[in-house]
Structure 1
Amino acid sequence: MSEQKANENIYDRFAQVTKQTRELVANMEQLQNQITEVLEQNVELSIENDHLRQAIKKMKNVNGEPQLSGSRQNLKELYQQGFHVCSEYFGKRLAPGESCAFCTDVIFGHDPDQAK
């Protein structure tokens, strides 16, 4: 009888493992569905982000502001903070209300990269 009980115990354990495996598979399918949703949402947001960037770029072009390279944008920010960016006076403080034609030429002057 103990052999029969051992066989039943093995069968019960096998049934339990089978049930756990099915539950695990169900959980994995749920996770897979959630991952798919997140990835789809990520793609949608990336596309929307690109569209927004393009719209902002067009808005800047419509306002007539020249598109500045990153380095020229940095120079513009330094100039707006009150520092010369021209080679003549680079790094020196602008007097309150002072403007510098050399600095503005450096920032907004002819950009060889835009000629391409």
Structure 2
Amino acid sequence: MDKKELFDAFDDLTQNLMVTLAEADTLKKQFQQLIEENTQLRIENTKLRERLGQLEHEKQAKNSTQGKEHLESIYEDGFHICNSFYGQRRENEEECMFCQELLDRG
């Protein structure tokens, strides 16, 4: 190999290294963007899970309240809501200590 061929080989190698370096820099930037996006999605996912938990808790509380209100309305209509006499009419709309216990518990 003569000197000119050797310098040409070095120039080609330098050019190839510069192209490879530019590609590596592009890949590095893309990787950083992916990491940032992944972090944002993880944070958003955590916040959404927390909000979903809140909504489920609120829904359970609402359902519990609605159930109690339903039992109260049945009792006010003159029927038993206790396990012993459920659905039977209360005579003269007298108070039932079993029904009252259920209402007080809820």
Alignment TM class, shorter chain as reference: 0.5 to 0.7
Cα distance, 1:64 vs. partner?
2.2
Three-state SS of the structure 1 residue aligned to 2:67 is coil
In structure 1, distance between residues paired with 2:31 and 2:11: 30
**Which digits, 9 at most, give the CA deviation of each residue in 1:19-45, with x for residues without a partner?**
100100000000001111111110000
Corresponding position of 1:86: none
1:24 equivalent in alignment to 2:27: yes
Unaligned runs of 5+ in 1: 66-103, 105-116
1:2 equivalent in alignment to 2:5: yes
Which one-letter code corresponds to 2:50 in the other structure?
I
The structure with more radius of gyration: 2
TM-score between the two structures when normalised by the length of structure 2: 0.60
Q: Name segments (4+ residues, structure 1) moved above 3 Å.
A: none
TM-score between the two structures when normalised by the length of structure 1: 0.55
Over aligned residue pairs, what C-alpha RMSD do you find?
A: 1.3
Structure number having the greater helix percentage: 2
Three-state SS of the structure 1 residue aligned to 2:62 is helix
Unaligned runs of 5+ in 2: 69-85, 87-106
How many correspondences in the alignment? 66
For residue 35 of structure 1, the aligned residue among 19, 33, 38 is 38
